[in-house]
Structure 1
Amino acid sequence: MLSTDSLSRLEHVWNSTWKLLSDDILHRQRKLLKSPDLQLTEDQIKNLTLLEIQKILQQNNSSLTRYETMPFPDEESLSVVNNCLILDEQSYDQQTERAEFEKLFRSITSEQKTIFDIITKAVQQNKGGVFFIYGHGGTGETYLWKTLSSAIRSQGNIVLNVASSGIASLLLSGGRTAHLRFHISINLNEDSSCVMERGSDEAELLEKTKLIIWDEAPMTHKHAFQALDKSCKDVLKSKSLFGGKVVVFGGDFRQILPVIQKGSRQQIVNATLCSSYIWHHCRVLRLTKNLRLTVSQQSADIEDTKNFSKWLLYIGEGKVGGTNDGTAKIDIPDDLLIEQCDDPILKLIQFVYPNILNNSQDPTYFQQRGFLAPTNEVVHEINDRLLELFHGDPVEYLSSDSVSKSDYIDGNVDPTLYSTEILNGLKISGLPNHKLILKVGVPVMLLRNIDQKKGLCNGTRLQVVSLGTHVIVVTVLSGTNTDERISIPRVALTPSDKSIAFTFTKRQYPLSVD
């Protein structure tokens, strides 16, 4: 009708019919981006509809620009519609986020309020800035991240929540690991940068982002932060730190620092964020009030909780006794010691998991309990004993282990040196053992990031529902998708341990008894 000039009131016809014309637009866009849950705003659907009309007109040597009263598709809006990363981050309902913000803001502390005001002011000024929120466990860092995120998202803006580990990212709204979100390489050096190009979906997402929150930053190598800084400067065409974006790091240097294999104290310190050029531009803001104590002032054991909290801080700050050889001496409180007995492992299991057989069907039972062990040997010993307590027949799953064929071809490895038995006997941190023995009802832990959006990442706690030949069905015990059933297949796992002189692949279920 446009091409034949058969319409006299173009804008009236458009306003009356655009919903009919756009009937399948959302369906087509979901299919194109392979995102069945994709949602589009009314303006975005209008733009896509106008684009389809423009394509038909161009095929007939015409254009929407010929008609003064007809709208024209907005190119910037169209680029957003075709970028599933931006659409995902803009899918938050502004009214819901506003209600969430008002709820969180009512309970914010004076310390959190001060930091909140500083960061939101930097976001509003749009001049960039780098901050480090220094707070130990219980001071409300995660609460502050949620408040900041809901405040900015309620205005229709984008916040990227990332963490250094998958399990920490589950605590953040829309959280991802930093390596996944920014395409940071696993093996880094001082010249590394993110796998990101100008004009890519990731670059467009960065351009529209108002705030980046990076939780548990102290445990990441400084080269990861520097790689992101270089890439932001490149894709955003800016010489400012992180391309002029507001970046907030959080964490506690008393906790886990970057893991440097066989590294000395100096090498570990040199790998931290404090040793990066970025640190000189960081404004350090502190959280000191332990909310776990202030919330439970009426608790009967409040004094014990306070003393335990102080004891942990003293250890982290090095305020413990020393020995002649310069090593730290830590006195374990008597109430944390297990009494001498013939079977300390069994006593420990009975303390952590009392009446385990009667409570194993209660999903909250395992959510509130777990072991933290210093070495894998201790973990395996406890797990073997725990497995014996469950009724039912155990199911044994054996891995398929092999050396990469490329190592054979290149001559790096002699095929006769590494038999199947030797490969099966290797026990490597982060990988399941060759022999995985499970029973129905046993709590297990996921050892790989599979689907962070569904809360399936390294460290997610699960419970076995059924043991099949090709898949293991589990329910999620922790994270945002609690009680959801998931089928876990066998996957090919490659260790990152550089002490192994060849590329080694283990095909096994990425699970271990928790």
Structure 2
Amino acid sequence: MRDIMHFSNRNSESMPFGGKTIVFGGDFRQILPVIPKGRRQDIVNATINASYIWDHCQVLKLTKNMRLQAAHTSVDRAGLGDFAEWILKVEDGAIGNKTDGLYACTIKIPDDILIREWHDPIKAIVDHTYAEYINDPSNDNHLEKVAVLAPTLQIVDDINDYMMSLSSNDIETFLSSDTVSKSKFQNDFIASIHTPEFINTIKCSGVPNHVLKLKVGIPIMLLRNIDHSAGLSNGTRMVVTKLGKRVIKAKILPGTSMGQKFFIPRMTLTLSDHRIPFKFQRRQFPIMVSYGMTINKSQGQSLSRVGLLLKNHVFCHGQLYVAITRVTSRSGLKIVVAHDHKEDECVDDTHNVVYKEVFRNVS
């Protein structure tokens, strides 16, 4: 922008973006930039208000919770104020007791949101979230704006496997084709060490698993952008209508393209993860089963019913806040706390991680 604007304003070389107005959108209370192997300080320093650009920014705030404002029933509107106030306290880290760590506090979950009595945490949260769908699985409308959230991929996989077991439709298994990416930094010796059998076992966020088990009628989520104009973007939720050997037919659940059907092909995806000392390619359908999804993946979603399963504590800034703000009403949110469960007592508190120093220079 400095190079372009130099032709009309010679002082543009000393101005951010050549003097053009740039609009940044975001929420410092939500999950911050992911820094591989980064410490708290590294994560905070990666936010835009730690940049020299911030001195040239003017802060404009959105003050209304539009998800909650969309509540339609009188029951939902009745507890709107108290719920919104509780959310504000959670996002600012203004409630709870400090834990032994330096970054988390323990907060109590309100009684009307907490599911206290359960034997199997997955069954308990699923029975609340997907009650209508379990009673009438043929009706796709029961899948709209409904999901179970969890902090980790392993818990999400357990939720999806449980829901898949409830469906009577035939299951189809799709295997990926995995190969080590060839580059000047990798030779045939490295490729021979990392065999396809080993690569098949790798599971990473944002990449479909080697083994993908699907059924007609189950919800799925796209993991890659395919066609923005048609509504096929990363995070789009769909329902499988037909399974082929080379393509999957599915229809979109929410959004402007709701109900439209599309064919999803296999795609070659290249994975680069700091935990893996090499790159590899996986050819697979760019989807995942989405009865459940991670809290990170749920960002941007607006859901009428949310079940939050905490078999583990949240572990990064803003995760709890993101989870409880996906829902459009207080009555649509239920939480199961299972990380410190004992047979003779019910746990009603959990961790909330807030890096308060990230709010500097925001007001």
* Partner AA of 2:31 in structure 1: I
Match of 2:128 in 1: 351
Deviation at residue 302 of structure 1 after TM alignment? 3.5
Match of 1:340 in 2: 117
Match of 2:51 in 1: 276
Match of 1:379 in 2: 156
Q: Percent identity?
A: 45
Match of 1:95 in 2: none
Match of 1:329 in 2: 106
Deviation at residue 243 of structure 1 after TM alignment? 2.8
Q: Is the 8 A contact 2:175 2:210 kept in 1?
A: yes
> Are 2:54 and 1:261 aligned?
no
> Are 2:274 and 1:498 aligned?
yes
> Are 2:173 and 1:404 aligned?
no
Q: Whole-Å Cα distance in 2 between the matches of residues 271 and 412 of structure 1?
A: 37
Match of 1:110 in 2: none
Q: Is the 8 A contact 1:454 1:480 kept in 2?
A: no
Indicate which of 414, 417, 430 corresponds to 2:193.
Answer: 417
Runs of 5+ in structure 2 lacking a partner? 291-363
Between structure 1 and structure 2, the one with the greater Rg is 1
Deviation at residue 361 of structure 1 after TM alignment? 4.2
Distance 1:483-1:294 versus aligned 2 partners, 3 A rule: closer
Distance 1:325-1:488 versus aligned 2 partners, 3 A rule: closer
> Are 2:264 and 1:488 aligned?
yes
Distance 1:296-1:456 versus aligned 2 partners, 3 A rule: closer
Distance 1:298-1:386 versus aligned 2 partners, 3 A rule: closer
Q: Is the 8 A contact 2:132 2:142 kept in 1?
A: no
* Partner AA of 1:234 in structure 2: D
Q: Whole-Å Cα distance in 1 between the matches of residues 154 and 161 of structure 2?
A: 11
Deviation at residue 337 of structure 1 after TM alignment? 2.2
Match of 1:302 in 2: 77
* Partner AA of 2:3 in structure 1: D
TM-score (norm 2): 0.72
Runs of 5+ in structure 1 lacking a partner? 1-231
Deviation at residue 284 of structure 1 after TM alignment? 1.1
Local SS of the residue matching 1:425: coil
Distance 1:420-1:234 versus aligned 2 partners, 3 A rule: same
Specify which structure has the bigger relative contact order, considering alpha-carbon pairs within 8 angstroms and separated by 6 or more residues: 2
Deviation at residue 336 of structure 1 after TM alignment? 2.4
Distance 1:434-1:330 versus aligned 2 partners, 3 A rule: same
> Are 2:203 and 1:427 aligned?
yes
> Are 2:110 and 1:319 aligned?
no
Distance 1:410-1:251 versus aligned 2 partners, 3 A rule: closer
Match of 1:472 in 2: 248
Local SS of the residue matching 1:340: coil
Deviation at residue 295 of structure 1 after TM alignment? 6.7
CA distances 1:399-448 after superposition (whole Å, capped 9, x unpaired): 111101336x8438523321221111111111111110000000001111
Deviation at residue 357 of structure 1 after TM alignment? 5.0
> Are 2:61 and 1:286 aligned?
yes
* Partner AA of 2:160 in structure 1: N
Deviation at residue 396 of structure 1 after TM alignment? 0.3
Deviation at residue 343 of structure 1 after TM alignment? 2.2
Deviation at residue 394 of structure 1 after TM alignment? 0.1
Match of 1:444 in 2: 220
Q: Is the 8 A contact 1:413 1:502 kept in 2?
A: no
Q: Whole-Å Cα distance in 2 between the matches of residues 319 and 286 of structure 1?
A: 20
Q: Whole-Å Cα distance in 2 between the matches of residues 294 and 441 of structure 1?
A: 32
Higher-strand-fraction structure: 2
Local SS of the residue matching 2:85: helix
Q: Whole-Å Cα distance in 2 between the matches of residues 389 and 434 of structure 1?
A: 23
* Partner AA of 1:440 in structure 2: V
Residues matched between the structures, number: 282
Q: Is the 8 A contact 1:399 1:434 kept in 2?
A: yes
Local SS of the residue matching 2:94: coil
Deviation at residue 454 of structure 1 after TM alignment? 1.4
Match of 1:233 in 2: 2
* Partner AA of 2:41 in structure 1: Q
Distance 1:302-1:234 versus aligned 2 partners, 3 A rule: same
Deviation at residue 338 of structure 1 after TM alignment? 2.0
CA distances 1:2-53 after superposition (whole Å, capped 9, x unpaired): xxxxxxxxxxxxxxxxxxxxxxxxxxxxxxxxxxxxxxxxxxxxxxxxxxxx
Distance 1:335-1:235 versus aligned 2 partners, 3 A rule: same
Deviation at residue 325 of structure 1 after TM alignment? 3.6
CA distances 1:94-146 after superposition (whole Å, capped 9, x unpaired): xxxxxxxxxxxxxxxxxxxxxxxxxxxxxxxxxxxxxxxxxxxxxxxxxxxxx
Deviation at residue 397 of structure 1 after TM alignment? 0.1
Q: Whole-Å Cα distance in 1 between the matches of residues 71 and 255 of structure 2?
A: 24
Deviation at residue 385 of structure 1 after TM alignment? 0.6
Deviation at residue 244 of structure 1 after TM alignment? 3.1
